Structure 1
Amino acid sequence: MWRAHRSDPLGYGTDHHVLDYRHTDAGRDSYTTQGWDPERGPELMSDPAVVAGGALDYQAALDGTYPPQGTGAYALTPEVTVPYDPAVAEREGAMIPRRPLHEPHGSAADWGASGRWADATWTVEMRRALRTDHPGDTTRLRPGGVYDWAPAVHAGAGQRWHWVGSPHRLGLGTEPTSPAERYADRATITATRVPDAGRVDWNAVPEHTRTLVFPGVTAWRDLVTDHSRAAAVRELDVTIWELHDVDP
């Protein structure tokens, strides 16, 4: 899992798996949670030399005048994090990240990743070793093997847009051919070995476009009974997009 503000600034993905809950792999993730006290405030803030006033401004963010994505202004990385100073950052509308970042280790550090923000689009490269030292958490891969793969994009702040794709069969240097190895011809993806993984010409790599769907995250019973707009839902006076108050 790649996260723009919880893992990308350190060059990692966050290694999770979903069963009864979203579990993390063994070791230490790239982020933690800082404490917050109603009287003393948070533990940490951004270095004022990097972020003016040690914190972003809530109203500016609402107005769309926040720093560009990918600049690092959103992340409490070790080199730009300092102890919280109320004389600097205690003011109305100050926004300080809840999740300070630190170097991950163990199985949680199996995935490396890097993202680039340009033209309102993230371009993300993810990488991992075929065989890791943590087979209980990270599947060991081999050239010629065929594996399940499915894309997903989780976006939005608060609304939690969970866009997911159908599962595909990914072949490492081989094309899935038998019915047991693929679900449909259009679901076949073949990975190609390159001489240097650090110097890939992505313009020369074939593109694969995958359709994502928003399956919904709330039970219908809750929508028509407990939700704050239950009456509008029952009368079909509101769409799912309006309900989330976001234009996808």
Structure 2
Amino acid sequence: MNKRALILAIAVLTAGPALAADPATIDWSKIPAVKVPLFYPGQSSYEWLRSDAHKGASKETQRGDACLSCHDEDDAEKDIGNKLVQGGALEPTPVKGKNGFVELSVQAAYDARNAYFRYQWKTHGKAGIEYPYYRFDGKEWKVYGGPRLDKAVQEGKQPPIYEDRLSMMLDDGKVPGFAEQGCWLTCHDGERDLKSATKEEVAANAAMQAYKKTDVRKYLPETRTNPSDWKTGKSVEEIAKIKAAGGFADLIQWRAHRSNPVGLADDGYVLEWRNFDSGKKMFDSNLDKDTKQPKFMYDAKKFGAKAATAKQVGKKESFLIKGKNAVPFDPKAGWKEGDMLPRYVLTKDVEGSAGDNKATGSWKKGMWTVVLTRPLGLTNDDDKTLKDGGIYHVGFAVHDDNITTRGHQVSFVRTLGLGAKADIQAVMLP
């Protein structure tokens, strides 16, 4: 046992539960900050990387070369992002005014109980703390608002509304190719906004029926018999074996609307699909599938009204939180055309593996600062275990400016070390 591990072991035995640091008291000025460049990827999917369209690099990608082995020059990410965001073969529906580059500052620390991550980035526009609503049109509750890549938003038929997000994808060496190509292993033709598969194609696919999924989302190549074809999914039993062997990528997402108000970040993983961890997460749909009406409305005494309005979008916090300002929906409450309620209701009462991560975010002078806390030593079958001395491969993504899916900025792979040499080195707290 090395000296650092011995210190931690003694501390655990002698100090008890109080050992965990309060993230709010960590002196981040003493923790090194690593600047990670993020860029707009357009539709540069796993399939595109291996096609002739990826000029001069398709063969290298197919044999498993690292993205950074080619894109190693200064400002490579900035040049790529600023080009792709303008439109072209990889971006058939460019978003007017969208930025192609973001610099993400990453700091990491840990103690005997937890790992702590601090992220900072400047947003392209105001903080996105809202999610599309349900709006009453006099007869029915219909979705109001959407991300800027949506056709209805680009045509001016819906207003741009979407939450900001910060994501970290992590692997411990058990996902083939992740160390070299990272997030691109998970992005495939067929996904939403990536040469999307139709509902009919998904419904007719045996594998997707077995997975009980109605659309295509992120997946790892190992889960398909043909890694480049979402239709060729392996059996549920084969997927279970891959998961049991740790062949999944952890996906941690902080969400400005659906997790930040309750001090959490959701926990998920990518395998045959983009899955949530087991248990009860912090947000749930606010639509009753049977009645086609909301499940909860605002407590008028606490929110000021039973519903929001379009005039309040961007001007008043719209979070709907159980135990704080949410009450059961009353269909006889005199609903009028234009009344709006959030599409998701939040709760602090998370359960199981889905509730592992705590996080707080604040937006000031155009910059988000997000601090994430993740326990060390997790043994859940849907988590990667962080531990002292461990080295991991990570990829980051930021969604802002009322956008989602491929409209984010992403990083090439970096290494993360807890007390070990890496691109991002987590510092052991005193």
Please, what TM-score do these two structures have when normalized by structure 1? 0.63
Q: Provide the C-alpha distance between the structure 2 equivalents of 1:165 and 1:44, rounded to a whole number of angstroms.
A: 38
Bigger fraction of residues in helix: 2
Does 1:41 pair with 2:274? no
Q: 1:14-53, aligned counterparts within 5 Å?
A: 14-36=266-288, 41-53=293-305
1:127 partner amino acid: T
1:54 partner amino acid: K
- Relative to structure 1, the CA distance from residue 86 to residue 119 in structure 2 (aligned partners, 3 Å threshold; closer, same or farther) is farther
Identity among equivalent positions (%) equals 33
Q: Provide the C-alpha distance between the structure 1 equivalents of 2:379 and 2:334, rounded to a whole number of angstroms.
A: 43
1:144 partner amino acid: G
Q: Provide the C-alpha distance between the structure 2 equivalents of 1:159 and 1:11, rounded to a whole number of angstroms.
A: 21
Give the unaligned 5+ runs of structure 2: 1-252
1:149 partner amino acid: V
The offset of 1:131, in angstroms, is 0.7
Q: Determine if contact 1:6/1:75 at 8 Å carries over to the other structure.
A: no
Q: Determine if contact 2:418/2:425 at 8 Å carries over to the other structure.
A: yes
Coordinate RMSD, CA, aligned = 2.4
Q: Provide the C-alpha distance between the structure 2 equivalents of 1:91 and 1:37, rounded to a whole number of angstroms.
A: 21
Does 1:113 pair with 2:359? yes
The offset of 1:89, in angstroms, is 6.8
Q: Provide the C-alpha distance between the structure 1 equivalents of 2:291 and 2:276, rounded to a whole number of angstroms.
A: 32
Q: Provide the C-alpha distance between the structure 1 equivalents of 2:403 and 2:421, rounded to a whole number of angstroms.
A: 40
1:75 partner amino acid: L
Runs of 4+ in 1 over 4 A off after TM superposition: 36-40, 86-89, 156-160
2:341 partner amino acid: I
- Relative to structure 1, the CA distance from residue 190 to residue 40 in structure 2 (aligned partners, 3 Å threshold; closer, same or farther) is closer
Q: 2:369 aligns with which of 123, 128, 133?
A: 123
The offset of 1:159, in angstroms, is 5.4
Q: Provide the C-alpha distance between the structure 2 equivalents of 1:170 and 1:57, rounded to a whole number of angstroms.
A: 44
The offset of 1:35, in angstroms, is 2.5
Deviation digits for residues 208-232 of structure 1 (CA, Å, limit 9, x no counterpart): xxxxxxxxxxxxxxxxxxxxxxxxx
The offset of 1:92, in angstroms, is 2.5
Deviation digits for residues 194-246 of structure 1 (CA, Å, limit 9, x no counterpart): 13xxxxxxxxxxxxxxxxxxxxxxxxxxxxxxxxxxxxxxxxxxxxxxxxxxx
The offset of 1:157, in angstroms, is 4.3
Aligned residue in 1 for 2:409 = 163
Give the unaligned 5+ runs of structure 1: 177-187, 196-248
The offset of 1:24, in angstroms, is 0.6
2:386 partner amino acid: L
The offset of 1:44, in angstroms, is 0.9
Q: 1:38-187, aligned counterparts within 5 Å?
A: 41-61=293-313, 64=314, 66-67=315-316, 73-85=318-330, 90-102=335-347, 103-134=349-380, 136-157=381-402, 160=405, 161-176=407-422
1:155 partner amino acid: D
The offset of 1:86, in angstroms, is 5.1
Larger RCO (CA under 8 A, 6+ residues apart): 2
Q: Provide the C-alpha distance between the structure 1 equivalents of 2:305 and 2:292, rounded to a whole number of angstroms.
A: 17
1:190 partner amino acid: Q
Deviation digits for residues 99-135 of structure 1 (CA, Å, limit 9, x no counterpart): 112211111111111111222332111011111241x
Aligned residue in 1 for 2:207 = none
The secondary structure found in structure 2 opposite 1:56 is coil
Q: Determine if contact 2:359/2:371 at 8 Å carries over to the other structure.
A: yes
How many pairs does the alignment contain?
Answer: 176
Deviation digits for residues 40-67 of structure 1 (CA, Å, limit 9, x no counterpart): 8322111112322222212442xx4x21
1:194 partner amino acid: L
1:42 partner amino acid: P
Aligned residue in 2 for 1:10 = 262
Indicate the larger mover: 119-128 or 159-168. Answer: 159-168
The secondary structure found in structure 2 opposite 1:13 is strand
Q: Provide the C-alpha distance between the structure 2 equivalents of 1:149 and 1:57, rounded to a whole number of angstroms.
A: 40
Aligned residue in 2 for 1:237 = none
Aligned residue in 1 for 2:426 = 191
1:145 partner amino acid: G
Q: Provide the C-alpha distance between the structure 1 equivalents of 2:277 and 2:415, rounded to a whole number of angstroms.
A: 24
- Relative to structure 1, the CA distance from residue 51 to residue 38 in structure 2 (aligned partners, 3 Å threshold; closer, same or farther) is farther
- Relative to structure 1, the CA distance from residue 159 to residue 32 in structure 2 (aligned partners, 3 Å threshold; closer, same or farther) is closer
- Relative to structure 1, the CA distance from residue 115 to residue 41 in structure 2 (aligned partners, 3 Å threshold; closer, same or farther) is same
The offset of 1:156, in angstroms, is 4.8
